[in-house]
Amino acid sequence: MNLTAEQRAILEAQGYIIVDGQIIRVVKDNLNKNEALDLVNNHGYTWSNDGNEDILYDTGLNGNVKINSVDLDLGHFGVITKELDVSSDFESNFLVIGDVNTNGHSIGSTSGSFSKDEADVLSKSYYTGKLKGNVNLHDTSDTVERLNVGNGHLADTWNNIVEAAKSAIESIKQDNSTTLLQISDNNTGNNTEFNTRNGKVVISVNVNGDTFDFYNYKVNGIQAGPKGIGDPENIIFDFGDFSGVINAKEFSGIIFAPNATVQGCAGSCEGQVICKSLKNDSGEWHSVSAIKYAVEKNTQGWSADGKTYVANGKTWSADGKTYV
């Protein structure tokens, strides 16, 4: 496709991207063009041919690992840990390199946020040890599968997961749009607010003591926790080698703390946690890794004045979501 520099700039300003000679419009404001390309190029997703097909978008750290010949993307799981103890309904996909204790509560993802044709990907959870307690699934399409990993390989399996997550964080940190912050304390601070409107935020947490508390913080003016901030993958709390206890009372974002114990969720938590053990005390943990975004291929050309790209004889509405 022969495009002038001016035409490419116009396309980019209008939210188009060019893939394999096709001009493609991403039909969702908060789906970054690079993220859309990454889904297609690196995670097995395909572009829509008619504008009606969706692509999956994970709100966790994307990293590929193979466990017992099963290829897994870390982004599909809201909880990745070595031990999971559930004391309330648990609406999240999980990958547990160890035991799961349901204590009689429901587990697995819920179908409300994704269509059934994608359930084979989005409703799968895995564990390698024992599944304790009654297994009540949120949806008939949910599956909880045991991966047969020998005791001698458990440590290597966990290390591979941690390294894949670290690599994903480092890649995000290298992006010029990412904001790098630091916390040196034992809590997020009262009414602390983080801004992810211009890109992702990675926060290196240096804990002052043996415990860290998340409470009463906001993301883009919205209180963290009660299923509200929209894109929890945009804020990452990196605890490094911290091996104490993290109290996530009401949390939104990604917790990377592979040596720590995470407990709490007194209200509602959303996003992804990678930790040594997770005890979900009384609230709910929600994985929002099934948010879907539409894309569309366009094959027509430029308007008469060369200033607007016209697809199939139509132009986009003001909100960029429909043709008029």
* Sign of the CA dihedral running 278, 283, 235, 206: negative
Q: Residue 1: enclosing H or E segment and its boundaries?
A: none
Measured between its terminal Cα atoms, the distance across the chain in Å is 26
Region 257-284: mean pLDDT is: 84
Q: Which of 40-44, 129-133, 203-207 has the weakest average pLDDT? A: 40-44
Task: Using alpha carbons only, give the angle 176, 177, 182 rounded to the nearest 5 degrees.
Answer: 90
Q: Is 234 helix (H, G, I), strand (E, B) or coil?
A: helix
pTM: 0.74
Per-residue pLDDT at 203 exceeds 50: yes
Per-residue pLDDT at 292 exceeds 60: no
Query: Which residue has better confidence, 309 or 231?
Result: 231
Task: Give the pLDDT of residue 308.
Answer: 66
Confidence class for position 255, pLDDT limits 50, 70, 90: very high
Per-residue pLDDT at 303 exceeds 80: no
Note the pLDDT tens digit of each residue in 76-103.
788 899 999 987 767 778 899 999 998 8
Highest mean pLDDT among 92-96, 124-128, 273-277: 273-277
Note the pLDDT tens digit of each residue in 33-82.
566 666 666 655 555 544 444 555 556 788 889 998 888 888 878 889 99
